[in-house]
Structure 1
Amino acid sequence: MPGVYDALHGTLQMTLLQRLGWDALRPLQEQTFRAATSGADLLVIAPTAGGKTEAAMIPVVDRALREGAQGVYCIYLSPLKALINDQLERVEAFCTPGRLSAAAFHGDIPVSERRQDPDDEPHVMLITPESLQVLLQTAAGRRRFSPLRFVVIDEVHAFAGTDRGVQVRALLDRLDRAAGRRVQRIGLSATVGNPADVLAWLSGPNRKRQLVVVPASPAARRFSFALEPDESRRADALVRLVRGRRALVFVASRSQVERLSTLLEGRVDALYCHHSSVSAAARHRAERASRAGEPFCIVCTSTLELGIDIGDLDLVVQLGPPDSVASFLQRLGRAGRRGQPARFAFVLARPAEVVLALGALEAAMRGEAEIIEPPAHPYHVLAQQLLLGLAVSRRTRRAVLVSETGSLGPFQAIPESELELVVDHLLDGGFIAADGDLLMVGPATETAFGGTHRRELYSVLRGGRDYRAVTPDGEEVGRLDARFARSDAPGVFSLGGRGWSVVGRDDVQNLLIVQPGSSATRRAFWSGRPGGVSPLVARSALSILAGRGSGIALDDSAQEALDACLARMPRGIQPEGVTVFERGDGGTPDVMVLTPFGAAGNRVVGSFLRSRLGTRESVMPLDLGILVRRAGAHGEAGRRVHAALLEMRSAPPGDVAATLPVEPQSSRAFGSLVPPALFSRMVVLDQLRLPKLLHDLSSGTIVHLGEDDGRAHDGSGGEDEAVSCPGDLRERWENPGRSGERENAHETDRRREEAGDG
């Protein structure tokens, strides 16, 4: 078979040779080119820094040159504005020699710098989902995509399992409609546990599709573990690790970035913060420093987990255990580039964190990653897309609106009766108005979303609660949660690694006027969904506990920590099931419940236990299980918790759902546009994944390790009495379409989620 390189368009060959020094393609690029020429939708899986961008762009540019492309020929869809800025130069390197052009479109680019002339369209448009949604809302914008042949979706794993992914999947179908053809889709990712399923989601039914998977080559990797319960000593350990090196330090939240930066201030040269709430200018300074070749330390959240170019690194540090194997692999891929061994250091606070970190590491070594499940009941995004569809058509018949929106990929499995319920709710709330048989955008939509060209209607990322922190001169410092901004507490807070004091506040414009302060005395916080480890990390950690050790060679301090954790655990732990045992001396022991469900699943189990054990007991969901205190005397405490778990295993889903805390509809973008019964169903099915949790609980063992005789008491077999459930909650769970309640208010005060850009 002739080589792909020799078959490329001559101009592209010269570009690769002269610009990149390539006289041949890598296996990934050859495989992707051959697959792309078949016209199939592709999902390309390869390690970080494996050349995925080039693999996608080579077939795009080759075909554009052969066809003499005019207008927007390819869309490059990315989750981050910073990633678009970073990729633009790489894409231009392919395009410019062949007189093809590329341009970035997103909210940080001034309108004056965006190409508006229809005779001067970029051949490759790099864009975020939100900006693409804006363009598709006008007839002129849709006409721009009539020449479209390709759409490349970068970091597809960052979209697929999220609300934003629902919007992306709808946008892909809308692009097909705008182009009048099936636009070829090429997804790129480094870590997906179920690539075939993700490709099916990306492509859709009745479309040709193909996976391109190139596994990571064996590489030298060096891991180290530092265990230090004291916060100041953990900071000392970090200083010793990063001093004089080019290092990234990953933490779990924005507030942790600020806290750690305060502890490291003055002790580490070239210290930077990087998270979604610091200003774009501050993030760009950190990114430029990472490419300058000098030592630096950037403390960050997942904002630097994706493919932004940060140059060569000496070290990646993970503070605390990683939440997921996929996240760990992304972060590990940041280190050891250009042929150098990857150095990855865990800095941990407790022996249990050592077990969780080892769990993530062992799962990664086995080649595992989390399963990505796209939301199946995204009623809030459905409501958004219904309104956007009306905004385009101005006036349309109800049947046409329901048919056109319901036929979009992410909504095809939603029954028409549920689509009609959402339309009825929007009509009742005034978000849609009716003129006979015709529907149009209603006054409530104009009130809630009418400002600034309906900007908030285009994004499923939650907003509205942030305050912009600006200096008296108007320089933006970053964004703060409204609860923090309105607290009126005195003192200096940290944002972007610097101390700031408040000198004024404007609640109408959501502005906080700040000036530089001394060392921070207050800790800024932001709202967001609770975190914690994934079920895959939990299962892997349980296997370590059940097997009484890890297969990874550890240094003395890490082995000591692991041994200390194992010493507190009884024998007989179930690696795939639930283990209940008592711990501690005295009259009222603690009861520990170890589970493979991960932090989110443990919160669900914890809610059920709390409802059954009573208010006196303390129930604390953890990463690896649930801790129950004051459940009774020795023997009785473990039996009570075990019995409650058996009850949960046989309880109807509606009864379990009734024990869960009610999530406010305002917590989701467009959540208030959904009937309450459907919103509850969506949370239970898509966010909490209750049916899967109950399936795993009922199909696995629930073992009570008795103290008196050391025998395991398995809960298999036997009937348990069904538990009653309040009728209204049972009705919402089992028959959402029969609930007569409709909410007639739009909540504009939403918690901001750390999503999209971290």
Structure 2
Amino acid sequence: MSEQSDGDFHPLVSDLVEELGWELTPIQQESMTGLLGGGHRLLLAPTGSGKTEAAVLPLASRALSEEWSGLSILYVTPLRALNRDIDRRLGVMLEPLGLTVGLRHGDTPQSERTRQSRSPPNLLVTTPETLQIMLLGSRLRQHLAGVRAIVIDEVHDLAASERGSQLLVGIARIEEYCSESIQRVGLSATVGNPNEMARWMHSDAEPVHGPAPRTTMIEVHRERIVPEDEVMSVEWSISPSSVAAFRSLSLTLLEDHPSLVFVNSRSAAETVAQRLSNLSPELTVGVHHGSLAAETRREMENALRAGELHALICTSSLELGIDIGTIRRVHQIQSPRAVDRMLQRLGRAEHHMGGTGRGRVLAWDTDGIAEAGVIARRAMEGEIEGVEWRINPGIVVANQFLQMSIERGVVPLAIATGILQKCSILREWSHDSTLAVLRVLDDRWLLRLIENPADSDVTTWSTKLWAELASRSKGDVPAERPSWDDEIPDSDKEKWRREFLQVLPESLKGGWFSPAGRLGKTRGDHYSMIPDEMSYRVRDAVTRRVLGSVDEAFVLSLGEDSGESLGRTRRFVMAGRTWEIIDADPEQEELLVAPVKESGEAPIWAGELPPVPREVAEEVGRMRRSAAIEIGALPEDSRCVPFSDYPLSEIAAETIVTSVAEHLDATGALPDDKTMTVEDSDGTIVLNTCRGSKINEALAHFIQAMGS
């Protein structure tokens, strides 16, 4: 525990806070004592509450009071763009205290990496994937052995994916080299299960809530169709309702800016930007998503910050806390599909203490309006779903076994199992579970598993271990392990094994694993839990700048057409402009493109929409009942929220009520949280359920299996 359990900052930190004129926010006041005392804490507060300072100032105080040296604090974020932002802010905060700050991720120049390896900063900002790579360097591992605390930013985002599971095991691996337990500090938006979220980080972690006077205002709107929308819908081959939504949005952005417009996919971002530009040539919009090059994204962020754009059309790439200046309002195209995502996006509007998160959801189909209405109501009432994660994720364990083997060469089974058992998500992991995963990896020649050294073929042991044991042995043993192609008499194998067992370290007598032949060829494939996507770089043939990337499947589809259609499909939109493909180089995996004035279509990137939680889907069902109650078609039901409580515009509410009335007239039944209907739609069987994405996907797989 820290010597600062009385809850006072180090004098230098107190002086800095006073000089900068900072007044501690609620989350900073609530968390200070626990963090100064060395406790594990999850800090929960709305965006703009000062969570970063709440975490770092107490850790900086501990570093000064306890004279931490070298690399002592890690700051992990899920996005490289967020890393750059945090690096800037922490430099201003910590350098006056004599503490150095560094940044390390995939874009860090080799010269900077070398400098960090020789003389690391006191605080290093990095990503989960880069942290995995750092564990493989012997010099970097020595520096990691001095880590005393780790800050996990946007922990709710990481915990919901296997990236978070990988990070937990990575921290446990680092602790194997440390003399003390690493203090964990998580930063998160408000979640529905704070206690479980804290224990995800560490069994002793406690949640700390920082109340913040922040108001959330949302309206779900459907625009009325005018004759011009009908004409444009034919030209664009989309519904008049969606044209009306884009028309309404373009007018709003001209009057009320700067704004962020969130969409649910990269293709939608490019398409919406093009639609808006076509509707209002005087409107200046940018595009921001994960398939754009980092330089392109930075240019878009800077342009918005400088007031050069009316709006930025973006995906979840701008959902987290990247500094993009003052945003007046957030717009969402179609349902955001979850309450936490809605709140995260609204947090970009008036991103400061006491700000108001103003948002508007534009939707046009009935189900989308209903879903958005439910999410908007729950967001304003603070009814947030809990974060979910997998227990005993086998794919993460396999990934970490491969990493451990590269890191250590020879890994004792007991140590590998012990590392996993330190993680909350693997608390029930057993020795048998370890063997089950390792046998699969051994079968695929990624690892070599030795379960029982006393009953194994000694010529399959690691060459590194063989050389080490041979140097210790006093018997007649070859200095190097014989080749597997050599014909070795069983008597020699038995003799060598007896010799080696006499000098085998105690930690290895229970078995071990080590790298096998195929691991070397695939070593670079195991640093990340983010699925690989085969993609082509898109390079501007004029400026030679890389614009971003498109999926290989999109490039291959360009050759499937001919004639006039080929010319059209060879044009596509990226970063808000239309480009024509000049050349495709499969060997370099690169497209050369040139800008053109004509319109194009957005590429289709692989990926999937975020799931709709069961709680949201079930309330959509209850909302349908509320609408039926509103028109007197069903009796009152105390379990239903009054229909008027949903923040719907007049036409959005009319759309739902009309749909419910028509459905009851046509079928006599209403699909809701209690009723699932089976319907025929133009020869297609439709199961209308209100159970959320995961249950619906399970039903779909079951029906497909039954019909195959």
Fold conserved between structures, TM > 0.5 = yes
Match among 546, 551, 554 for residue 484 of structure 1: 554
Residue 396 of structure 2 corresponds to 381
- Whichever residue aligns with residue 482 of structure 1, its letter is E
- Whichever residue aligns with residue 320 of structure 1, its letter is Q
- Whichever residue aligns with residue 661 of structure 2, its letter is A
Match among 202, 215, 236 for residue 219 of structure 1: 215
Task: Using the TM superposition, give the Cα deviation of residue 550 of structure 1 relative to its aligned residue in structure 2, in angstroms.
Answer: 3.9
Residue 43 of structure 2 corresponds to 44
1:262-283, Cα deviation, whole Å (9 max, x unpaired): 2122525331110000111111
Alignment partners' CA distance in 1, 2:366 and 2:448: 59
Residue 15 of structure 1 corresponds to 16
C-alpha distance 397-15 of structure 1, shift in aligned 2 (>3 A): closer
Task: Using the TM superposition, give the Cα deviation of residue 396 of structure 1 relative to its aligned residue in structure 2, in angstroms.
Answer: 4.0
- Whichever residue aligns with residue 120 of structure 2, its letter is E
Match among 463, 470, 476 for residue 532 of structure 2: 463
SS of the residue corresponding to residue 109 of structure 1 reads coil
C-alpha distance 4-576 of structure 1, shift in aligned 2 (>3 A): farther
Q: For 1:317-466, list aligned pairs within 5 A.
A: 317-337=331-351, 341-398=356-413, 400-404=415-419, 409-433=424-448, 435-436=460-461, 439-449=513-523, 454=524, 456-466=525-535
User: Normalization by structure 2: what TM-score?
Assistant: 0.79
Q: For 1:532-543, list aligned pairs within 5 A.
A: 532-543=611-622
Match among 647, 672, 675 for residue 578 of structure 1: 675
1:270-329, Cα deviation, whole Å (9 max, x unpaired): 311100001111110111123224552100111111111122112111100111111001
C-alpha distance 606-396 of structure 1, shift in aligned 2 (>3 A): closer
Match among 311, 317, 320 for residue 306 of structure 1: 320
C-alpha distance 348-317 of structure 1, shift in aligned 2 (>3 A): same
C-alpha distance 568-363 of structure 1, shift in aligned 2 (>3 A): farther
1:319-352, Cα deviation, whole Å (9 max, x unpaired): 0011111100111111134555433111112122
SS of the residue corresponding to residue 90 of structure 2 reads helix
Alignment partners' CA distance in 2, 1:516 and 1:42: 51
- Whichever residue aligns with residue 79 of structure 2, its letter is L
C-alpha distance 553-464 of structure 1, shift in aligned 2 (>3 A): closer
C-alpha distance 523-404 of structure 1, shift in aligned 2 (>3 A): same
Alignment partners' CA distance in 2, 1:146 and 1:610: 51
Residue 275 of structure 2 corresponds to 263
- Rg larger in 1 or in 2? 2
Check whether the contact 1:348–1:354 (CA below 8 A) recurs between aligned residues. Answer: yes
Alignment partners' CA distance in 2, 1:132 and 1:34: 29
Higher mean C-alpha deviation, range 332-341 or range 398-407: 398-407
2:645 is the counterpart of 1:551: yes
C-alpha distance 402-506 of structure 1, shift in aligned 2 (>3 A): farther
- Whichever residue aligns with residue 73 of structure 1, its letter is S
C-alpha distance 65-238 of structure 1, shift in aligned 2 (>3 A): same
Task: Using the TM superposition, give the Cα deviation of residue 150 of structure 1 relative to its aligned residue in structure 2, in angstroms.
Answer: 1.1
C-alpha distance 377-505 of structure 1, shift in aligned 2 (>3 A): farther
Check whether the contact 2:199–2:206 (CA below 8 A) recurs between aligned residues. Answer: no
Check whether the contact 1:115–1:121 (CA below 8 A) recurs between aligned residues. Answer: no
Residue 245 of structure 2 corresponds to 234
Check whether the contact 1:35–1:210 (CA below 8 A) recurs between aligned residues. Answer: no
Task: Using the TM superposition, give the Cα deviation of residue 120 of structure 1 relative to its aligned residue in structure 2, in angstroms.
Answer: 3.4
Residue 661 of structure 2 corresponds to 567
Residue 153 of structure 2 corresponds to 154
1:80-110, Cα deviation, whole Å (9 max, x unpaired): 0000101112111220111111111111121
Residue 755 of structure 1 corresponds to none
C-alpha distance 340-389 of structure 1, shift in aligned 2 (>3 A): closer
C-alpha distance 216-550 of structure 1, shift in aligned 2 (>3 A): farther
Task: Using the TM superposition, give the Cα deviation of residue 220 of structure 1 relative to its aligned residue in structure 2, in angstroms.
Answer: 6.1
Q: For 1:146-185, list aligned pairs within 5 A.
A: 146-185=145-184
Task: Using the TM superposition, give the Cα deviation of residue 6 of structure 1 relative to its aligned residue in structure 2, in angstroms.
Answer: 9.7
1:185-225, Cα deviation, whole Å (9 max, x unpaired): 00011132211111111113xxx322101244252625351
Task: Using the TM superposition, give the Cα deviation of residue 610 of structure 1 relative to its aligned residue in structure 2, in angstroms.
Answer: 4.8
Check whether the contact 2:676–2:689 (CA below 8 A) recurs between aligned residues. Answer: yes
1:55-74, Cα deviation, whole Å (9 max, x unpaired): 11121111122223311121
- Whichever residue aligns with residue 17 of structure 2, its letter is L
Higher mean C-alpha deviation, range 465-474 or range 328-337: 465-474
Task: Using the TM superposition, give the Cα deviation of residue 5 of structure 1 relative to its aligned residue in structure 2, in angstroms.
Answer: 12
Alignment partners' CA distance in 2, 1:196 and 1:117: 36
- Whichever residue aligns with residue 212 of structure 1, its letter is V
Check whether the contact 2:218–2:361 (CA below 8 A) recurs between aligned residues. Answer: no
C-alpha distance 4-550 of structure 1, shift in aligned 2 (>3 A): farther
Check whether the contact 1:352–1:565 (CA below 8 A) recurs between aligned residues. Answer: no
Match among 263, 282, 286 for residue 251 of structure 1: 263
User: Normalization by structure 1: what TM-score?
Assistant: 0.74
Residue 646 of structure 1 corresponds to none
- Whichever residue aligns with residue 43 of structure 1, its letter is L
1:374-428, Cα deviation, whole Å (9 max, x unpaired): 2124222211111111111223455554555565554443443342222122222
1:222-254, Cα deviation, whole Å (9 max, x unpaired): 535134652333221220121141111111101
- Whichever residue aligns with residue 557 of structure 1, its letter is I
C-alpha distance 259-124 of structure 1, shift in aligned 2 (>3 A): same
- Whichever residue aligns with residue 288 of structure 1, its letter is N
Alignment partners' CA distance in 2, 1:4 and 1:140: 34
SS of the residue corresponding to residue 199 of structure 2 reads helix
Alignment partners' CA distance in 2, 1:421 and 1:216: 48
- Whichever residue aligns with residue 470 of structure 1, its letter is R
SS of the residue corresponding to residue 259 of structure 2 reads strand
Residue 575 of structure 2 corresponds to 496
SS of the residue corresponding to residue 594 of structure 2 reads strand
1:644-665, Cα deviation, whole Å (9 max, x unpaired): xxxxxxxxxxxxxxx8xxxxxx
Residue 636 of structure 1 corresponds to none
Alignment partners' CA distance in 1, 2:585 and 2:39: 53
Query: Aligned residues: percent identity?
Result: 28
Higher mean C-alpha deviation, range 369-378 or range 161-170: 369-378
Higher mean C-alpha deviation, range 252-261 or range 424-433: 424-433
C-alpha distance 294-507 of structure 1, shift in aligned 2 (>3 A): closer
Gaps of 5+ in 1: 615-658, 660-758
Residue 756 of structure 1 corresponds to none
- Whichever residue aligns with residue 60 of structure 1, its letter is L
Residue 687 of structure 1 corresponds to none
Task: Using the TM superposition, give the Cα deviation of residue 438 of structure 1 relative to its aligned residue in structure 2, in angstroms.
Answer: 6.0
Alignment partners' CA distance in 1, 2:647 and 2:403: 56
SS of the residue corresponding to residue 16 of structure 1 reads helix
Gaps of 5+ in 2: 225-238, 450-459, 462-510, 560-565, 628-642
